Structure 1
């Protein structure tokens, strides 16, 4: 076996992370995925695992493709599966599933009973997260980057302004809705829950999870997986070939999508001016911004410490 072949068949070397920390990241992603207007991809971006997750999804999808189409189905699939960072993926999935199964119902009820406060909190969380793709883009934007940012903001605004419809949750309606909504796991700023809300499938989906409707959950999960594979392949290509431009566009999408989290809205989702409780809601939003910045600070401090530890380990080998 050549050195190149040996390297490609080994699992990628990722920063060592505490499994409990990964579990908590997964729980956060699972929680925000139940809230209209918030994207699990935003959490992954803020907590420093976004690129790793895209890479993991790419190798998992490649394994499934090789297993189905060949050549060398078993050997090819095994090679791709070895490249998946399972020590990241497994605890992350456990945290996500546990959070969705335990808090999907309560979070949905909380959003219903305290809509303004919850929107204000998540408005602050997402607004504070925008600085992450801006920093990852490298800064010093030129005219081309400003145009990309504007296009992303417009796209996010349009997606978050979709009118609410009331579709019957039949299998052939659930299938495309699940495939589209799962994009939020991959695309920061776009909320899968908000898209489900726009399709009129938000409450039926939360109810199915809360009541353990396995038929609905399995069908939804199947088509969500299809949508996830497509989006992962697209984002992998963009991050590898156009990383700076992709981060600029994502920052714009996150800004535009804040429209869906504006605290003051009427029953149909139309925007309204600030009400009497604007000061308390502003404080809630500021708490959200500070919480995200604290996470970013902790992640930034952890990265150099981890690099130093890895360098010490390499020196001892």
Structure 2
């Protein structure tokens, strides 16, 4: 078991609770994104035990973070929305130097890769966060359970891609508050149904990403970098005229940069 992955999983879990921030982005920051994709795909090979040893601690960390921090993140987004998003913007921008280095962009990027990067920025920046959309769904009919299952499937497919937030997808579909409320109140029926959708979505999407990383690595990295840059535009909460609030935003933005730098140094 790779127990170091518990803290990695916790970092991914906290980010996945926040609309606009991707767990895949955190995996890139912590330097194990390729390992994560390979491990998920490796579950269906003869070396499945080794890959399971990598994924179980990661899953434990994610579960601990989601159940422990869902209420905290909900509170922060309700009362300190701007400073919270500024912290994550700092974190995302701090990731970029490692991404460019990992992809060897200076030597490998050609015009088509730069074009792909801008395509990634454009696609993600078209999304908008509307956290107030979608009330808590109390109906428990079969059609609602089906909606929750497919919401988990689609969100997890986005979750594993750097720059695309699974939580944001849940916001767009209109079930974000329902899922967060289920986690906060331990509504295990909803949690299990969404969880099955998430598991199947991660397995499916990881195979697609694994194929492109293996066969079109530079192009895939170019698109990923574009998605990560684009996510800054998605979660940017605007400016504030309140001096105290602005100071707090700047401090947390700087803290995000520092955290990204330190984690990047440790992991890379």
The TM-score, its normalising length taken from structure 1, stands at 0.75
Map Cα deviations across residues 255-302 of structure 1 (whole Å, 9 max, x no partner): 1111222132xxxxxxxx4433434312321210111011111123xx
In 1: Cα distance, 2:157 partner to 2:254 partner: 28
In structure 1, the residue matched to 2:86 is 120
- Please give the residue correspondences for 1:51-66 in structure 2 after superposition, counting only pairs within 5 Å: 51-60=34-43, 62=44
For the pair 1:81 / 2:64, whether they are aligned, the reply is: no
Which is worse superposed, 212-221 or 130-139? 130-139
For the pair 1:197 / 2:171, whether they are aligned, the reply is: yes
In 1: Cα distance, 2:217 partner to 2:33 partner: 12
Whether the 8 Å contact between 1:183 and 1:190 is mirrored in structure 2 is: no
In structure 2, the residue matched to 1:313 is none
Whether the 8 Å contact between 1:133 and 1:248 is mirrored in structure 2 is: no
**Number of residue pairs matched by the alignment:** 257
CA 176–275 in structure 1, closer or farther in 2 if over 3 Å, else same: farther
- Please give the residue correspondences for 1:1-317 in structure 2 after superposition, counting only pairs within 5 Å: 19=3, 21-60=4-43, 62=44, 79-82=46-49, 84-140=50-106, 141-158=109-126, 160-161=127-128, 165-166=133-134, 169=137, 170-264=144-238, 273-277=239-243, 278-300=246-268
Could you tell me which runs of 5 or more consecutive residues in structure 2 were left unpaired when the two chains were aligned: 138-143
Whether the 8 Å contact between 1:190 and 1:253 is mirrored in structure 2 is: yes
1:230 shift after superposition: 1.6
Whether the 8 Å contact between 2:136 and 2:181 is mirrored in structure 1 is: no
Could you tell me which runs of 5 or more consecutive residues in structure 1 were left unpaired when the two chains were aligned: 1-16, 64-78, 265-272, 301-317
1:80 shift after superposition: 4.9
Larger Rg: 1
SS at 2:105's partner residue? coil
Whether the 8 Å contact between 1:40 and 1:184 is mirrored in structure 2 is: no
The TM-score, its normalising length taken from structure 2, stands at 0.88
In structure 2, the residue matched to 1:71 is none
In structure 2, the residue matched to 1:306 is none
1:105 shift after superposition: 1.7
1:87 shift after superposition: 3.1
Whether the 8 Å contact between 2:2 and 2:54 is mirrored in structure 1 is: no
Map Cα deviations across residues 236-262 of structure 1 (whole Å, 9 max, x no partner): 001111111111111101111112221
In 1: Cα distance, 2:191 partner to 2:2 partner: 31
